[in-house]
Amino acid sequence: MNSENFDVIVVGSGPAGQKAAIQAAKAGKRAAVIEKGRGAGGACVHYGTIPSKTLRETTLAWSSFRRRTSATVGLKLPENTKVAALMAHLDTVVRAHEKYIADQLTRNGIAFVQGVARLTSPHDFEIQCLDGSKRKLRGEIVVLAPGSRPRTPPEIPVDHEHILDSDSILSLIYLPASMAVLGSGVIACEYASIFAALGVKVSLIDKSPLPLGFLDPEISRRFQHGFEALGGEFMGGRKIARVEFDGLEVAVDLEGGEKVRVEKMLCAQGRVACLDGLNLEAAGLSSKDRYIAVNANYQTAVPHIYAAGDVIGPPALAASSMEQGRRAVCHALSLSPGGNGELVPIGIYALPEVASVGLSEQDALKRFGACMVGRAKFAELARGHIAGITDGLLKMVADEAGRKLLGIQIVGEGAADLISVGQMGLISGCDVDLFIEHTFNFPTLVEAYRVAAFDLVEQRINKFAQAAAGT
């Protein structure tokens, strides 16, 4: 069997693989994408980002309407609400996105090969196709973007019925009355807050003292407050001693003697790279680690083999994975990637929503020794009151003089959209005063940028006055 030759072979058609292949094609290279699933898009489309955000959109519409009309309309989800009923248009969304990705690959002349990929040398693959046939592909450049799967600790007996993971959670038939969520990362907090907003009694359990502990602590605490306002409970600083389904409910025993009894449990304690069957050793790489190790250019220990997306570990978000795949191919083809690779925003689609770009207050203090922070509470915005979302916050991090923009962190409805304004400001290297000198629509949440900038200006004036007074 002769090998089909390509300039670039990409394993996986999720966000990282898709953008890697598109970049190769745009550079005039012959590219192929190998996808083991039955459709383009990988887990992002079929199990992760698209399905979870579809459920979230329904939940957000429901909770927003209930919040804004609580004084005049009494609303409550009926008992035994089917989860599928909350995601009635999911199939349409998935098919549309899958078709978009497939059409994009076809339009750019990229070969789409469905099957399970196995490396036979640093350049060669054997593909077990879905129809039972086999193909051989050879690539000068290889990009590994096979994605990840839920990590299941050995002490957690996931059965996908009573104790679920992040791939099987949406297979629930009915909304449970109660749920425990193990973990406090992105996936755990997104699902915990969604189910809490739907009226499920949710206990979010983790050893970390704060949810989303990798973020600015002030933002994490704001998220926790919002989650608890939905009726959820964050149980931080706890360790699991034992978990079992006793035939009636899921029993969770914590170290120290606390006991939690719930109808369902979601184990969301991270993910691990999908390396099974890739036969990395044939290419001179190791499959013993949780993730594939790469350098700053997403290059593995084998120079022509790159890796991007979930397979290289955190942040494991769709936007960052797309940029990693694009930059990996740019480096492989000696092309300038352009822009600043550090200024990729983080968007966490929990309730409340969270977003960040650039340096946090803690990052700025560590890097420069000092900084100034401006804050805008959504309670200070007309739009915040109109929409009933007064608990949001925008933090604007600036240099010690309070002039140069260093970072933005937001918690509250619309955060993932609002963050793009700050991202463009950082990319353009703007000063804080730019947000004061120009006009925003009224009433909008984007006015938070002006309010935060005014806060910084006031601090600058006070600092100057104190210095002039010799205090």
CA–CA distance, 422 with 344 (Å, rounded to integer): 11
* Predicted local distance difference test score (pLDDT) of residue 163: 97
CA–CA distance, 257 with 386 (Å, rounded to integer): 45
Amino acid present at 291:
Y
* Predicted local distance difference test score (pLDDT) of residue 99: 83
* Predicted local distance difference test score (pLDDT) of residue 46: 63
Quickly state the pLDDT bin for 43 (edges 50, 70, 90).
low
**pLDDT tens for residues 378-429?**
999 999 998 888 999 999 999 999 999 999 999 999 999 999 999 999 999 9
CA–CA distance, 76 with 114 (Å, rounded to integer): 45
* Predicted local distance difference test score (pLDDT) of residue 342: 78
How many CA within 13 A on the CB side of residue 363? 15
Q: Which CATH class is domain 163-269?
A: alpha beta
* Predicted local distance difference test score (pLDDT) of residue 69: 65
Q: What CATH homologous superfamily does 353-468 map to? A: FAD/NAD-linked reductase, C-terminal dimerisation domain (3.30.390.30)
Q: Report the run of H or E that residue 20 belongs to, with start and end.
A: helix 15-26
**pLDDT tens for residues 320-329?**
999 999 999 9
pLDDT value at 50 more than 80: no
Instruction: Answer yes or no: same fold for 4-48+88-150+272-332 and 353-468.
Output: no
**383 closest CA partner among 441, 434, 426, 436:** 441
pLDDT value at 158 more than 90: yes
Arithmetic mean of pLDDT over the chain: 91
Cβ pair 33, 113 in contact under 8 A: yes
Average pLDDT on 150-173 reads 92
pTM over 0.95: no
What percent of the chain has pLDDT above 70?
Answer: 94
Average pLDDT on 134-152 reads 94
Pairing, β 271-273 against β 354-358: unpaired
Average pLDDT on 177-204 reads 96
Amino acid present at 101:
I
Quickly state the pLDDT bin for 250 (edges 50, 70, 90).
very high
Average pLDDT on 123-151 reads 93
Quickly state the pLDDT bin for 48 (edges 50, 70, 90).
low
Is pLDDT larger for residue 56 or for residue 43? 56
Please name the residues in contact with 119: beta carbons below 8 A apart, sequence gap of 6 or more.
125, 278, 279, 280, 282, 283
Q: Choose the most confident range, by mean pLDDT, from 15-24, 34-43, 125-134.
A: 15-24
Quickly state the pLDDT bin for 269 (edges 50, 70, 90).
very high
Amino acid present at 399:
D
pLDDT value at 56 more than 80: yes
Q: What are the boundaries of each domain within the chain?
A: 4-48+88-150+272-332, 163-269, 353-468
Q: Which CATH class is domain 4-48+88-150+272-332?
A: alpha beta
